Amino acid sequence: MAELSTAVKKADIGGKRLIGLAPTAWVQWVTQRSDVVAQEILGSEFQWLSRENDVLVKAVSPTHGEFLILNELQLRYGTRLPQRMRAYAALATEKYNLPVCPVLVNILPPASTVPIQTCYESSFLGLQARQDYRVINLWEVEAEIVFAQSLRALSPFVPILKDGGEVSTVQRALRLLRQDEQLVELEALLAFFASFVWESEVVRQIMRWDMAVLRESPWYQEILREGARQGERKEGQSLILKQLNRRLGELTPDLTLRVQALELPQLEALGEALWLS
């Protein structure tokens, strides 16, 4: 078996670092096949396209031979992800000439108004296209699986897993990380996700909070970007509601809620339409 290569920096706590901790345990979990063995983590750069949280693993099994597992780890599900999964699967197939099993791992739940699609489908000029992929929502995954299956890659996510928000469960994950010097920097990521469940002061009392290490995580950067987008979205909602109020008079609660449910691109399009009309 080829030596597993991850080529990551010490402070890198992104997807490649996590999956590289126990790659065979990871690929067996995402495929639900106990005979799959990870061989190598491959480059997921496709000319003009590269993302920090795409992890492409070459695997092998007695039944299926060599194949690729395309892991897309997303902080939150986005409506364009089905198209992205289709594109990445096709690019990986073309580059490595191997079958691809695409897997989408959603870390945090999206807004209740956003349905999570489990495949890409399109029909245009009588032509059909379809790309299936596995979907794993971490908030639906039992926390106990981390300890039962030695899934060290999921250790930092324990607080947001199902039944993982208990102090005793997070402390078990913390002990797991502190038993291995190579996993020490992941404590910051564990603390980060614990902050989605507990108050910051509780997090600080239980574990170290190393912001310098945490800032290396692509998920931390995504949270910052999401915060900026949400700020823009709220500003856009406020502007649109003011424009509609001036034109239509006092708005009904239903119309107000419909505007508040719009995403930023939809708000921009509505704002342009109101400006031009």
Q: What is the pLDDT of residue 203?
A: 75
Supply angle C-alpha 63, 136, 109, rounded to 5: 175
Q: What is the pLDDT of residue 207?
A: 72
**Element at 58 (helix H, strand E):** strand 54-61
DSSP assigned state of 188: H
Q: What is the pLDDT of residue 232?
A: 59
- Whole-model pTM? 0.72
Q: What is the pLDDT of residue 252?
A: 78
Q: What is the pLDDT of residue 8?
A: 36
Supply angle C-alpha 75, 42, 174, rounded to 5: 45
Q: How do the pLDDT tens digits run along the chain, 277 residues long?
A: 444 443 333 345 678 888 888 899 999 999 999 999 999 988 756 544 445 558 899 999 999 999 999 999 888 888 889 999 999 999 899 989 999 999 999 998 888 888 999 999 999 999 999 999 999 999 999 999 999 888 888 988 999 999 998 888 988 888 888 887 777 778 888 888 888 788 767 777 777 666 655 666 666 666 666 655 666 566 666 767 776 776 677 777 777 877 777 766 676 666 656 555 5
Class of domain 15-140: alpha beta
3-class state of residue 68 by DSSP = strand
Q: What is the pLDDT of residue 17?
A: 80
- Delimit the domains of the chain by residue range: 15-140, 144-214, 230-276
Rounded Cα–Cα distance for residues 98 and 42 (Å): 12
